[in-house]
Amino acid sequence: IRDADEIVVRLSDRSEFRAKVVGADVRTDVAVLRIQPSGKLPVATLGDSSRLKVGEFAIAVGNPFGLESTVTLGVVSATGRSAEPDIEGGDDFIQTDASINPGNSGGPLLNARGEVVGINTAMVTAGQGIGFAIPINTVRSVEQDLVAHGAVRRGWLGLGIQGLTPELAEAFGAKGEKGILVNRVVPGSPAQRGGVRMGDILVAFGKARVSGVKEFQRLVAGTAPGTPVTLEVLREGKRVAATLTVEEAEKQASVRRPLPREPVDPLGMAVRAVPKHLLREMELRGGVEVTFVETASPAWDGGVREGDVLLSINRETVRGLDDYRKAVSRLPRGRPAFALVYREGIQLYVALKSR
Protein backbone atom coordinates (compact mmCIF):
# COMPACT_ATOMS: atom_id res chain seq x y z
CA ILE A 1 0.00 0.00 0.00
CA ARG A 2 3.00 2.31 0.33
CA ASP A 3 2.77 5.26 -2.10
CA ALA A 4 -0.49 3.86 -3.55
CA ASP A 5 -2.86 6.40 -5.14
CA GLU A 6 -5.83 4.05 -4.80
CA ILE A 7 -6.38 0.76 -2.97
CA VAL A 8 -8.96 -1.76 -4.19
CA VAL A 9 -9.88 -4.93 -2.27
CA ARG A 10 -11.17 -7.81 -4.40
CA LEU A 11 -13.00 -10.68 -2.68
CA SER A 12 -13.21 -14.31 -3.79
CA ASP A 13 -16.58 -13.63 -5.50
CA ARG A 14 -14.76 -10.92 -7.52
CA SER A 15 -16.67 -8.06 -5.91
CA GLU A 16 -14.45 -5.02 -5.43
CA PHE A 17 -14.35 -2.28 -2.79
CA ARG A 18 -12.27 0.83 -2.45
CA ALA A 19 -10.31 0.70 0.77
CA LYS A 20 -9.15 3.34 3.21
CA VAL A 21 -5.93 2.94 5.21
CA VAL A 22 -6.71 2.95 8.94
CA GLY A 23 -3.04 2.62 9.85
CA ALA A 24 0.19 0.94 8.78
CA ASP A 25 3.25 -0.32 10.62
CA VAL A 26 6.46 -0.49 8.60
CA ARG A 27 8.34 -2.50 11.21
CA THR A 28 5.99 -5.50 11.03
CA ASP A 29 4.86 -4.89 7.42
CA VAL A 30 1.22 -4.94 8.57
CA ALA A 31 -1.58 -2.50 7.63
CA VAL A 32 -5.27 -2.25 8.49
CA LEU A 33 -7.68 -1.36 5.67
CA ARG A 34 -11.36 -0.43 5.96
CA ILE A 35 -13.99 -1.26 3.34
CA GLN A 36 -17.76 -0.65 3.38
CA PRO A 37 -19.62 -3.71 2.02
CA SER A 38 -23.42 -3.68 1.75
CA GLY A 39 -23.81 -6.76 3.98
CA LYS A 40 -21.93 -9.08 6.32
CA LEU A 41 -18.88 -10.89 5.01
CA PRO A 42 -17.55 -14.32 6.04
CA VAL A 43 -14.45 -14.01 8.19
CA ALA A 44 -11.53 -16.35 8.82
CA THR A 45 -11.00 -17.86 12.26
CA LEU A 46 -7.79 -16.66 13.93
CA GLY A 47 -5.66 -19.20 15.77
CA ASP A 48 -3.01 -18.83 18.49
CA SER A 49 0.49 -18.67 16.97
CA SER A 50 2.11 -19.16 20.39
CA ARG A 51 0.81 -22.75 20.39
CA LEU A 52 2.44 -23.69 17.07
CA LYS A 53 4.69 -26.75 17.16
CA VAL A 54 7.59 -27.40 14.83
CA GLY A 55 6.58 -30.14 12.40
CA GLU A 56 2.84 -29.47 12.33
CA PHE A 57 1.13 -28.84 9.00
CA ALA A 58 1.16 -25.33 7.52
CA ILE A 59 -1.02 -24.24 4.58
CA ALA A 60 -0.18 -21.09 2.61
CA VAL A 61 -2.81 -19.35 0.46
CA GLY A 62 -2.14 -16.53 -1.98
CA ASN A 63 -1.74 -15.41 -5.57
CA PRO A 64 1.83 -16.38 -6.50
CA PHE A 65 2.83 -14.90 -9.87
CA GLY A 66 -0.81 -13.83 -10.35
CA LEU A 67 -2.19 -17.38 -10.00
CA GLU A 68 -5.23 -16.63 -7.84
CA SER A 69 -6.20 -18.65 -4.75
CA THR A 70 -3.21 -20.99 -4.89
CA VAL A 71 -2.88 -23.33 -1.89
CA THR A 72 0.44 -24.95 -0.90
CA LEU A 73 1.11 -27.39 1.92
CA GLY A 74 4.15 -27.76 4.16
CA VAL A 75 5.12 -27.82 7.81
CA VAL A 76 6.17 -25.31 10.43
CA SER A 77 9.97 -25.45 10.16
CA ALA A 78 10.74 -23.10 13.09
CA THR A 79 9.27 -20.30 15.20
CA GLY A 80 10.81 -17.11 16.59
CA ARG A 81 13.03 -17.00 13.54
CA SER A 82 15.06 -14.05 12.28
CA ALA A 83 14.77 -13.52 8.55
CA GLU A 84 17.21 -11.88 6.17
CA PRO A 85 18.40 -8.42 7.29
CA ASP A 86 16.55 -6.61 4.50
CA ILE A 87 13.16 -8.22 5.27
CA GLU A 88 10.83 -6.03 7.28
CA GLY A 89 8.90 -7.54 10.16
CA GLY A 90 11.40 -7.97 12.96
CA ASP A 91 12.84 -11.18 14.33
CA ASP A 92 9.83 -13.30 15.35
CA PHE A 93 8.86 -15.04 12.12
CA ILE A 94 7.26 -18.42 11.56
CA GLN A 95 9.47 -20.33 9.14
CA THR A 96 7.72 -22.77 6.82
CA ASP A 97 8.54 -24.92 3.81
CA ALA A 98 5.04 -24.38 2.38
CA SER A 99 5.81 -22.74 -0.96
CA ILE A 100 5.78 -18.94 -0.65
CA ASN A 101 6.46 -16.97 -3.83
CA PRO A 102 6.01 -13.38 -5.05
CA GLY A 103 2.27 -12.74 -4.78
CA ASN A 104 1.83 -14.81 -1.61
CA SER A 105 2.61 -11.83 0.61
CA GLY A 106 -0.43 -10.81 2.63
CA GLY A 107 -2.09 -14.19 2.26
CA PRO A 108 -2.89 -16.36 5.29
CA LEU A 109 -0.83 -19.18 6.74
CA LEU A 110 -3.24 -21.75 8.19
CA ASN A 111 -2.93 -24.69 10.54
CA ALA A 112 -4.59 -28.07 9.97
CA ARG A 113 -7.79 -26.80 11.63
CA GLY A 114 -8.10 -23.99 9.08
CA GLU A 115 -7.22 -21.29 11.62
CA VAL A 116 -5.08 -18.36 10.50
CA VAL A 117 -1.78 -18.56 12.40
CA GLY A 118 0.25 -16.11 10.33
CA ILE A 119 0.43 -13.73 7.38
CA ASN A 120 2.82 -14.76 4.60
CA THR A 121 5.46 -12.14 4.10
CA ALA A 122 8.72 -13.26 2.50
CA MET A 123 10.94 -16.01 1.15
CA VAL A 124 14.67 -16.64 0.92
CA THR A 125 15.46 -16.32 -2.78
CA ALA A 126 18.83 -18.08 -2.46
CA GLY A 127 17.25 -21.34 -1.25
CA GLN A 128 14.19 -23.53 -1.66
CA GLY A 129 11.50 -24.27 0.87
CA ILE A 130 12.33 -21.36 3.16
CA GLY A 131 9.47 -18.94 3.64
CA PHE A 132 8.39 -16.67 6.49
CA ALA A 133 5.09 -15.55 7.99
CA ILE A 134 4.29 -12.93 10.62
CA PRO A 135 2.70 -14.66 13.66
CA ILE A 136 -1.02 -13.89 13.99
CA ASN A 137 -0.57 -12.94 17.65
CA THR A 138 1.80 -10.18 16.52
CA VAL A 139 -0.72 -9.12 13.87
CA ARG A 140 -3.50 -8.97 16.48
CA SER A 141 -1.45 -6.71 18.73
CA VAL A 142 -0.48 -4.43 15.84
CA GLU A 143 -4.09 -4.31 14.58
CA GLN A 144 -5.39 -3.18 17.98
CA ASP A 145 -2.89 -0.31 18.12
CA LEU A 146 -3.53 0.73 14.52
CA VAL A 147 -7.31 0.83 15.03
CA ALA A 148 -7.03 2.67 18.36
CA HIS A 149 -4.20 5.09 17.54
CA GLY A 150 -3.48 4.86 13.81
CA ALA A 151 0.05 3.77 14.70
CA VAL A 152 1.81 1.19 16.84
CA ARG A 153 2.98 2.49 20.21
CA ARG A 154 6.16 0.69 21.25
CA GLY A 155 8.20 1.13 24.37
CA TRP A 156 11.61 2.81 24.27
CA LEU A 157 14.33 3.21 26.92
CA GLY A 158 17.17 4.81 24.95
CA LEU A 159 19.74 2.04 25.34
CA GLY A 160 22.33 0.56 23.02
CA ILE A 161 22.83 -3.11 23.91
CA GLN A 162 24.82 -6.13 22.82
CA GLY A 163 25.21 -9.77 23.77
CA LEU A 164 27.36 -10.62 26.79
CA THR A 165 30.05 -13.06 25.71
CA PRO A 166 31.98 -15.09 28.32
CA GLU A 167 35.07 -12.99 27.53
CA LEU A 168 33.23 -9.70 28.10
CA ALA A 169 31.58 -11.04 31.25
CA GLU A 170 35.00 -11.88 32.66
CA ALA A 171 36.44 -8.52 31.59
CA PHE A 172 33.60 -6.71 33.39
CA GLY A 173 34.07 -8.76 36.56
CA ALA A 174 30.88 -10.78 36.02
CA LYS A 175 32.26 -14.19 35.09
CA GLY A 176 29.51 -16.77 34.63
CA GLU A 177 26.69 -14.20 34.66
CA LYS A 178 23.91 -14.13 32.07
CA GLY A 179 22.54 -10.88 30.69
CA ILE A 180 23.16 -8.20 28.08
CA LEU A 181 25.69 -5.38 28.01
CA VAL A 182 24.83 -1.66 27.76
CA ASN A 183 27.13 0.01 25.23
CA ARG A 184 25.26 3.31 24.84
CA VAL A 185 22.86 5.47 26.82
CA VAL A 186 21.00 8.13 24.83
CA PRO A 187 21.26 11.58 26.48
CA GLY A 188 17.95 12.68 27.98
CA SER A 189 16.45 9.18 27.61
CA PRO A 190 14.49 7.24 30.27
CA ALA A 191 17.59 5.07 30.75
CA GLN A 192 19.83 8.05 31.53
CA ARG A 193 17.28 9.58 33.88
CA GLY A 194 16.93 6.22 35.63
CA GLY A 195 20.67 6.00 36.26
CA VAL A 196 21.65 3.31 33.76
CA ARG A 197 25.30 3.61 32.67
CA MET A 198 27.46 2.33 29.84
CA GLY A 199 29.10 -0.90 30.91
CA ASP A 200 26.13 -2.00 33.03
CA ILE A 201 25.03 -5.61 32.59
CA LEU A 202 21.24 -5.92 32.44
CA VAL A 203 20.05 -9.13 34.07
CA ALA A 204 16.32 -8.51 34.63
CA PHE A 205 13.48 -6.41 33.19
CA GLY A 206 10.86 -6.24 35.93
CA LYS A 207 10.35 -9.84 37.04
CA ALA A 208 11.62 -11.31 33.75
CA ARG A 209 15.22 -12.54 33.62
CA VAL A 210 17.11 -11.31 30.57
CA SER A 211 19.52 -13.56 28.71
CA GLY A 212 19.53 -12.20 25.14
CA VAL A 213 19.30 -9.02 23.09
CA LYS A 214 16.19 -10.00 21.09
CA GLU A 215 14.37 -11.08 24.24
CA PHE A 216 15.09 -7.71 25.89
CA GLN A 217 14.05 -5.76 22.79
CA ARG A 218 10.71 -7.60 22.72
CA LEU A 219 10.12 -6.91 26.41
CA VAL A 220 10.77 -3.19 25.98
CA ALA A 221 8.82 -2.82 22.73
CA GLY A 222 5.87 -4.69 24.22
CA THR A 223 5.66 -2.42 27.26
CA ALA A 224 3.13 0.41 27.01
CA PRO A 225 4.63 3.93 27.05
CA GLY A 226 4.21 5.49 30.49
CA THR A 227 4.72 2.20 32.33
CA PRO A 228 7.27 2.29 35.18
CA VAL A 229 9.74 -0.62 35.15
CA THR A 230 12.66 -1.71 37.30
CA LEU A 231 15.87 -2.94 35.70
CA GLU A 232 18.28 -5.11 37.66
CA VAL A 233 21.85 -4.40 36.62
CA LEU A 234 25.32 -5.62 37.53
CA ARG A 235 27.74 -2.74 37.93
CA GLU A 236 31.35 -3.37 38.95
CA GLY A 237 30.36 -6.57 40.72
CA LYS A 238 27.35 -5.12 42.57
CA ARG A 239 23.63 -5.56 41.88
CA VAL A 240 21.81 -2.26 41.39
CA ALA A 241 18.13 -1.51 40.73
CA ALA A 242 17.25 1.25 38.26
CA THR A 243 13.64 2.44 38.07
CA LEU A 244 12.54 4.26 34.94
CA THR A 245 9.44 5.07 32.91
CA VAL A 246 9.10 3.63 29.41
CA GLU A 247 8.58 6.22 26.66
CA GLU A 248 7.21 5.86 23.15
CA ALA A 249 9.76 4.70 20.61
CA GLU A 250 11.32 7.40 18.52
CA LYS A 251 12.23 7.07 14.86
CA GLN A 252 15.74 5.80 14.41
CA ALA A 253 18.26 8.29 13.17
CA SER A 254 19.88 7.41 9.86
CA VAL A 255 22.98 5.32 10.30
CA ARG A 256 26.24 7.15 9.77
CA ARG A 257 29.39 5.31 8.83
CA PRO A 258 32.82 6.29 10.11
CA LEU A 259 35.19 7.14 7.29
CA PRO A 260 38.58 5.43 6.76
CA ARG A 261 42.30 5.34 7.41
CA GLU A 262 46.20 5.74 8.49
CA PRO A 263 49.23 4.82 11.60
CA VAL A 264 50.54 1.74 14.62
CA ASP A 265 50.64 -0.69 18.11
CA PRO A 266 51.22 -3.73 20.66
CA LEU A 267 47.58 -4.84 20.57
CA GLY A 268 48.13 -5.59 16.89
CA MET A 269 46.49 -2.55 15.32
CA ALA A 270 47.35 0.81 13.81
CA VAL A 271 45.35 3.92 14.68
CA ARG A 272 45.15 7.55 13.66
CA ALA A 273 43.51 10.72 14.90
CA VAL A 274 40.02 11.40 13.64
CA PRO A 275 39.53 14.81 11.96
CA LYS A 276 37.27 17.14 13.94
CA HIS A 277 34.74 17.50 11.14
CA LEU A 278 34.30 13.70 11.05
CA LEU A 279 33.85 13.61 14.82
CA ARG A 280 31.11 16.22 14.45
CA GLU A 281 29.50 14.24 11.63
CA MET A 282 29.50 11.07 13.76
CA GLU A 283 28.41 13.03 16.85
CA LEU A 284 31.49 11.91 18.82
CA ARG A 285 33.54 13.95 21.29
CA GLY A 286 36.78 12.17 20.52
CA GLY A 287 38.42 8.87 19.67
CA VAL A 288 41.02 7.27 17.42
CA GLU A 289 40.30 5.42 14.21
CA VAL A 290 41.58 1.90 13.57
CA THR A 291 43.30 1.78 10.18
CA PHE A 292 44.76 -1.73 10.34
CA VAL A 293 44.23 -4.86 12.47
CA GLU A 294 46.66 -7.76 12.38
CA THR A 295 44.95 -11.15 12.19
CA ALA A 296 45.43 -13.37 15.28
CA SER A 297 46.32 -10.29 17.35
CA PRO A 298 44.63 -9.42 20.68
CA ALA A 299 42.68 -6.68 18.91
CA TRP A 300 41.52 -8.99 16.11
CA ASP A 301 40.60 -11.82 18.50
CA GLY A 302 38.63 -9.35 20.60
CA GLY A 303 36.60 -8.17 17.61
CA VAL A 304 38.26 -4.86 16.66
CA ARG A 305 38.09 -4.18 12.91
CA GLU A 306 39.37 -1.59 10.45
CA GLY A 307 37.21 1.53 10.43
CA ASP A 308 36.26 1.21 14.12
CA VAL A 309 36.64 4.34 16.25
CA LEU A 310 38.00 3.54 19.72
CA LEU A 311 36.23 5.65 22.35
CA SER A 312 37.55 4.18 25.61
CA ILE A 313 39.72 1.40 27.01
CA ASN A 314 38.96 -0.04 30.46
CA ARG A 315 36.72 2.98 31.21
CA GLU A 316 39.52 5.42 30.31
CA THR A 317 38.18 7.90 27.76
CA VAL A 318 40.22 8.07 24.54
CA ARG A 319 39.98 11.59 23.08
CA GLY A 320 43.02 11.33 20.85
CA LEU A 321 46.32 9.57 20.22
CA ASP A 322 47.95 10.58 23.53
CA ASP A 323 45.02 9.24 25.56
CA TYR A 324 45.07 6.06 23.52
CA ARG A 325 48.79 5.40 24.08
CA LYS A 326 48.44 6.03 27.83
CA ALA A 327 45.44 3.71 28.09
CA VAL A 328 47.26 0.92 26.18
CA SER A 329 50.39 1.30 28.33
CA ARG A 330 48.28 0.81 31.46
CA LEU A 331 46.60 -2.40 30.27
CA PRO A 332 47.39 -5.32 32.64
CA ARG A 333 49.37 -7.92 30.71
CA GLY A 334 47.65 -11.25 30.19
CA ARG A 335 44.45 -10.12 31.91
CA PRO A 336 41.09 -9.45 30.19
CA ALA A 337 40.15 -5.86 29.43
CA PHE A 338 37.53 -4.12 27.33
CA ALA A 339 37.22 -1.27 24.86
CA LEU A 340 34.26 0.77 23.63
CA VAL A 341 34.19 1.23 19.86
CA TYR A 342 31.98 3.11 17.40
CA ARG A 343 31.07 1.06 14.31
CA GLU A 344 28.62 1.91 11.53
CA GLY A 345 26.49 4.22 13.63
CA ILE A 346 26.43 2.17 16.85
CA GLN A 347 28.63 1.75 19.92
CA LEU A 348 29.67 -1.65 21.24
CA TYR A 349 32.17 -3.18 23.64
CA VAL A 350 34.90 -5.61 22.60
CA ALA A 351 37.14 -7.75 24.78
CA LEU A 352 40.92 -7.26 24.74
CA LYS A 353 43.81 -9.15 26.33
CA SER A 354 47.24 -7.54 26.19
CA ARG A 355 50.14 -9.90 25.44
Residues 86-117 have pLDDT tens digits of: 343 455 889 999 988 777 888 999 999 999 99
Confidence tier at 355 by pLDDT (50, 70, 90): low
Q: What is the pTM of this model?
A: 0.59
Side chain identity, residue 331: L
Percent of the chain residues topping a pLDDT of 70: 89
- What is the rounded distance in angstroms from the CA atom of residue 29 to the CA atom of residue 19? 17
Q: Which of 149, 179, 197 is the last residue of a domain?
A: 149
pLDDT value at position 195? Answer: 94
Number of domains making up the chain: 3
Residues 124-150 have pLDDT tens digits of: 655 677 889 999 999 998 999 899 888
Identify whether residues 144 and 192 lie together within a single domain: no
Answer yes or no: is 299 within a domain: yes
**307 φ, ψ to 5°?**
95, -15
pLDDT value at position 318? Answer: 94
Answer yes or no: is 262 within a domain: no
Identify whether residues 274 and 184 lie together within a single domain: no
Confidence tier at 280 by pLDDT (50, 70, 90): confident
Q: Which of 149, 182, 200 is the last residue of a domain?
A: 149
Q: Where are the alpha helices (DSSP H) in the chain?
A: 136-149, 166-171, 190-193, 213-221, 276-281, 298-302, 321-329
- For 293, residues 6+ apart whose C-beta sits below 8 A from its C-beta are 268, 269, 299, 300, 304, 305, 306
- What is the rounded distance in angstroms from the CA atom of residue 191 to the CA atom of residue 182? 10
Answer yes or no: is 32 within a domain: no
Residues 15-63 have pLDDT tens digits of: 989 899 999 988 888 999 999 998 999 999 999 999 999 999 999 998 8
Whole-Å CA distances, 142 to 78, 112, 145: 22, 25, 5
Identify whether residues 242 and 325 lie together within a single domain: no
Q: Which of 149, 168, 184 is the last residue of a domain?
A: 149
- Classify residue 297 as exposed, middle or buried by CB count within 10 Å of its CB (0-12, 13-18, 19+): middle
Identify whether residues 136 and 170 lie together within a single domain: no
pLDDT value at position 89? Answer: 42
- Res. 201: pLDDT tops 90: yes
Answer yes or no: is 220 within a domain: yes
CATH code, domain carrying 87: 2.40.10.10
Range(s) of the domain holding residue 141: 49-149
3-state secondary structure of 315: coil
Residues 290-345 have pLDDT tens digits of: 988 876 678 887 888 888 999 999 999 999 999 999 998 888 877 888 999 999 88
Whole-number average pLDDT of the chain: 86
What mean pLDDT comes out for the span 188-193? 93
